Amino acid sequence: MSQNNSRQDIPLLSINNLTIDIPTAAGTLHAVRGISFDLKRGETLCIVGESGSGKSLTSLALMGLLGKNITPRADRMEFDEVELTTASARTMRNLRGARMSMIFQEPMTSLNPAYTIGDQLMEALTLHGSTNRKKARARAIELLEKVGITAAESRLSQYPHQLSGGLRQRVMIAMALMCEPELIIADEPTTALDVTIQAQILRLLAELQREMNMAMILITHDLGVVARVADKVAVMYAGELVETGPVDEIFAAPSHPYTRGLLRCIPLPGKTKRGSVLGTIPGIVPSLVGEVKGCTFRTRCEHASPACRGTIPLHTSPTGTHTFRCIHHPDDLETDAVQSTGANA
Amino acid sequence: MSQSDTPVLELRNVTKTYSVKQGLFGKSKPLTAINDVSIKLARGEVLGLVGESGCGKSTLAKILLGLEAPTSGEVLVDGQTLGGQDRLALARRIQPIFQDPYSSLNPRKNIYDIIALPLRVHGIGDEASRQKSVREILDIVGLPARVMNNYPSQMSGGQRQRVAIARALIMKPEIVICDEPTSALDVSVQSQILNLLNELRQEFGLTYLFISHNLAVIEHLATRVAVMYLGRIVEEASVGGLFDAARHPYTDALLKSVLTPEPELGIPDTHLGMSYPNPIAPPEGCHFHPRCPAASDLCKSKRPTPLFDPNGRIECHLHSP
C-alpha cells in the first residue's frame, strides 16, 4: 500500500522546457516554445487552445510520432522515469499503445478502411505480446460493450465504413484502452459527436480513468468540456502555455488576457443576454516563423503596451499552483475587465 | 397587409422516405428521414433546429433548399408551393451557409469568382457592376476588398466562413439556411461569426433556419426552437419557453447534456443510454420510449398525438391533449 502511495506522488509524466522547431522554406517555425508541466496517475490535464497553438504537436511529441525531420528538444520529458527525447525507437514502440495511447480527433481517417474493427482492436494486444487471439477477442468485445456499442460481437467483423461517426469514435476509444494504458492522450475526442453522446463518452472516460488509475491529457478548444473534466488546465497560445492551474482557480480567476477573452467569447446559458453582442478576440494568431520575441498575444490584446515586446514575467499565485505569463498584474486587469463589461451592458 | 401574416417559409406535413439497401443483395427497406413535419417561419425570426445526428435536420435543410423533393407534403415560400417555382427563382430567395468552410469553397477559384458566381448564374449585371456588388458585400461581412484575388487556401477558417456568408448574401435572399455555420471554427472566431450573423439579420431583415448541435449557440441566437427526434418535431417553443421550461423528456436530456463552463458541476448523466435507434426500424409507439426515463406502457404501444397550444407544440404522452 505504502509503495502504491509513493508511486502515486511521483509524476507519471514530467515535462520541462519542451521546444519543437519545424524547418520550413521560409525559416524555422517555432511551433512549441518551452512548455513545462507534470501529470500524476489518475489526474486529468486539459490543454486548451485554438488551431495552430501547438497543442496537437505537443501530444505527438509525447507519443514519439512527430515526423522524421522534426526533433523535439526538452530539458526533461520523462514518462515514468524513461526519458522520451533520447528513447530508442524500440523503447517508444513498446511504450506506445501498451503504456501510453492516443485517441485521435478524426475517426474517419485514423481507422484503417481495409481492416475489420476486430482486427484493428486486437492488433494492439497481440502486437504487444502476452495474449492469444481468443483472449484478445474477448477483451475487444468487453471494451466495445463498455463504450456502449450494442451487438459488440457482430461489430468485430465490420469495416469502419459500415459504422456511423459516433460509433467509430467509440471504437477509437475502445482501441486506446485495449492494453490498459497508464497515460491516455485524447485529442478532441468528442468534438465531432452529438452533445448527448459527448456527455456520455466523457463520463465513460472519467469512469475508466478512475478504474484504471490512468493519467489523461485531454486536448480541446471547448471550455465547457474543460470545466467539467479537468483537474488541471493549461491554456496554450502560439506555442506557449500562457496560463496553467487547477480547474477551479482558472475558471474563478482567469488571469491571462487570452484566457479572459476566450471566456467572454462563449455564450453562457442563463448569464449572457440572449441575442446580445458576444465578446471577441480580434485579429489572428501571429506567424511563428523566424525570431519570436515578447508576448505573442500582444497583437490581439486590449491591454497591450510597448513593454509587451520585452521579456514577459511568469506570475505565480500565492498557492503556487496557478501561473500565468503577462507583464500586467491581474489586479490591474480586473478594473479594465469591469469597465469593458460595463460598456457592453 | 396579408403579405406579412403569411409565413415566409412553411412546411406542410412533409415526409421524406429513402429506400435503403440492406447489403449488396439485400432487400430495400424504407427509411423515413422526415416524418410528417410541419413548421412555419415568420419573417425576421430565427428558428433553431436541434437534434442528434441522423434525426433528419440536414434532410430538412436540403428540402428547404430545393435540393431534395419531399415524398409527400408541401413546401411553401410566401404561400406559394415550391414545386411550382423553378430552382433559380428559389435560389434567389433561399441561400445556404454550410458547416465546413474548407470544403464548401472551390479551392481553384479566387474569392471574387466564388462570391460573384451566383450573380453570373442568374445573369445579373455586367462585370463592372458585379465587381461593385462583391466589394460592397465584402465590406458588409468585414473582409478587405484586397482578398478578392486570394484563393481559399490563403485564408483562415473564419475568413472563409465570411466568404461563404458573402456568397449567400450577394443575391439578397430573404431566408438563409445555416447548417452548423460555426462548429468548425475556433472559439474566438465563432463569436465573431455569430455576432456578424446577428447583425446581418437585423440590417437586412433576414429569416434564419439555424441548425446546430450547440445548444448554447441556439439559445443565444434563436427566437424559436424546434427539437427533432427520428424525423419528427417532438417539441417546439419560443427560445425562452424551451430553455426555461422544457416539456419533452428528450429536450430535457439535451439541455442537461450541455457542458457550461462551471467546474463544480461535473459531467452530467443524461440517462439516455448511448444508442440512437436505427431509423430503418424505429421503435413502436413513441419513438423516444426506449431512451425515455419517464416511459410508461402507453408510450411503448401508442404514438402520442401532438398538442398545439400557445406555448408551441409538444408530442409526448405526458402532455397529451
Residue window 95-134, chain B: list those with CB within 8 Å of chain A: none
| Chain B contact present for A226, CB below 8 A | yes
User: Chain B contacts of A166, Cβ < 8 Å?
Assistant: 53, 276
Extended strands (E) in A231-291? 232-237, 240-246
pTM of whole model > 0.90?
no
Top residue of A158, A193, A196 to mutate, by most chain B CBs within 10 Å, is A196
Residue whose C-alpha cell is 497583437: A299
pLDDT at residue number B320: 76
Cβ of B186 within 8 Å of Cβ of A268? The answer is no
Across chain B, which distance is largest between two alpha carbons, in Å? 68
Count of pairs with CB atoms under 8 A, one residue in A, one in B: 140
| Chain B contact present for A262, CB below 8 A | yes
pLDDT at residue number A39: 96
Long-range Cβ contact pairs of A321-324 (< 8 A, separation 24 or more): A321/A245, A321/A246, A321/A249, A322/A243, A322/A244, A322/A245, A322/A246, A322/A249, A322/A250, A322/A253, A322/A255, A323/A243, A323/A244, A323/A245, A324/A242, A324/A243, A324/A244, A324/A245, A324/A255, A324/A256, A324/A259
Cβ of B267 within 8 Å of Cβ of A199? The answer is yes
Mean pLDDT of A177-204: 87
DSSP 8-class letter at A105: S
User: Chain B contacts of A281, Cβ < 8 Å?
Assistant: 188
Helix (H, G, I), strand (E, B) or coil at B168: helix
Residue window 167-206, chain A: list those with CB within 8 Å of chain B: 170, 194-200, 202-203, 206
- pLDDT tier, A297 (very low <50, low <70, confident <90, very high otherwise): very high
pLDDT at residue number A7: 62
Cβ of B267 within 8 Å of Cβ of A206? The answer is yes
| Chain B contact present for A272, CB below 8 A | yes
Cβ of A194 within 8 Å of Cβ of B213? The answer is yes
**Residue in B closest to A48 by C-alpha:** B187
The answer to whether A241 and A36 are in contact (CB under 8 A) is: yes
Residue A324 C-alpha cell reads as 500565468
- pLDDT tier, A141 (very low <50, low <70, confident <90, very high otherwise): very high
**Nearest C-alpha neighbor of B214 from the set B48, B33, B14, B16:** B48
**Rounded-to-integer distance, Cα B110 and Cα B131, Å:** 13
Cβ of A266 within 8 Å of Cβ of B216? The answer is yes
**Nearest C-alpha neighbor of A251 from the set A226, A221, A274:** A226
**Rounded-to-integer distance, Cα A222 and Cα A199, Å:** 13
Cβ of B261 within 8 Å of Cβ of A251? The answer is yes
* Interface predicted TM-score (ipTM): 0.84
How would you classify the pairing of strands B224-229 and A72-73? unpaired
CATH class of the domain at A2-99+181-344: alpha beta
User: Chain B contacts of A223, Cβ < 8 Å?
Assistant: 187, 261
**Rounded-to-integer distance, Cα A145 and Cα A152, Å:** 6
Top residue of A155, A161, A228 to mutate, by most chain B CBs within 10 Å, is A228
DSSP 8-class letter at A189: T
Cβ of A203 within 8 Å of Cβ of B267? The answer is yes
| Chain B contact present for A274, CB below 8 A | yes
**Nearest C-alpha neighbor of A100 from the set A178, A168, A23, A17:** A178
pLDDT at residue number B126: 92
B192 CB-near residues (< 8 Å, 6+ apart)? A280, A282, B142, B158
Residue window 242-261, chain A: list those with CB within 8 Å of chain B: 247-248, 251, 261
- Among the ranges A117-126, A230-239, B31-40, B116-125, which has the highest mean pLDDT value? A230-239
Q: For each of chain B's 321 residues, which pLDDT tens digit applies? A: 445 578 999 999 999 999 887 766 778 888 899 999 999 999 999 999 998 888 888 899 989 888 888 999 999 988 888 766 777 888 889 999 988 888 889 999 999 999 999 999 999 889 999 999 999 999 999 899 999 999 999 888 889 999 999 999 998 899 999 998 888 788 888 899 999 999 999 999 999 999 988 899 999 999 999 999 999 999 999 999 999 999 999 999 999 888 999 999 989 987 776 567 778 888 999 999 998 988 999 999 999 999 998 889 999 999 876
**Residue in B closest to A167 by C-alpha:** B275
Extended strands (E) in chain A? 13-24, 27-39, 44-48, 72-73, 76-79, 82-83, 100-103, 183-187, 215-220, 232-237, 240-246, 314-316, 323-325
B128 CB-near residues (< 8 Å, 6+ apart)? none
Is A90 buried (19+), middle (13-18) or exposed (0-12) by CB count in 10 A? exposed
Residue window 244-273, chain B: list those with CB within 8 Å of chain A: 253-254, 256-270, 272-273
Shortest Cα distance, chain B CAs vs residue A48, angstroms? 11
| Chain A contact present for B60, CB below 8 A | no
Domain count along chain B: 1
| Chain A contact present for B202, CB below 8 A | no
Domain span holding position B157: 2-319
- Write the pLDDT tens digit of every residue in A246-275: 999 999 999 999 999 999 999 988 888 998
For chain A, the average pLDDT equals: 87
**Nearest C-alpha neighbor of B296 from the set B272, B317, B271:** B317
State the CATH number of the domain containing residue B293.
3.40.50.300
- Write the pLDDT tens digit of every residue in B125-181: 899 999 999 999 999 998 999 999 999 998 888 899 999 999 999 988 999 999 988
Chain centroid to CA B260: 23
Segments making up each domain of chain A, as ranges:
2-99+181-344, 107-180
User: Chain A contacts of B190, Cβ < 8 Å?
Assistant: 265-266
A190 CB-near residues (< 8 Å, 6+ apart)? A169, A197, A198, A201, A202, A220, A225
Cβ of A278 within 8 Å of Cβ of B195? The answer is yes
| Chain B contact present for A88, CB below 8 A | no
Cβ of A274 within 8 Å of Cβ of B272? The answer is no
Residue whose C-alpha cell is 424505429: B282
pLDDT at residue number B112: 96
pLDDT at residue number B236: 96
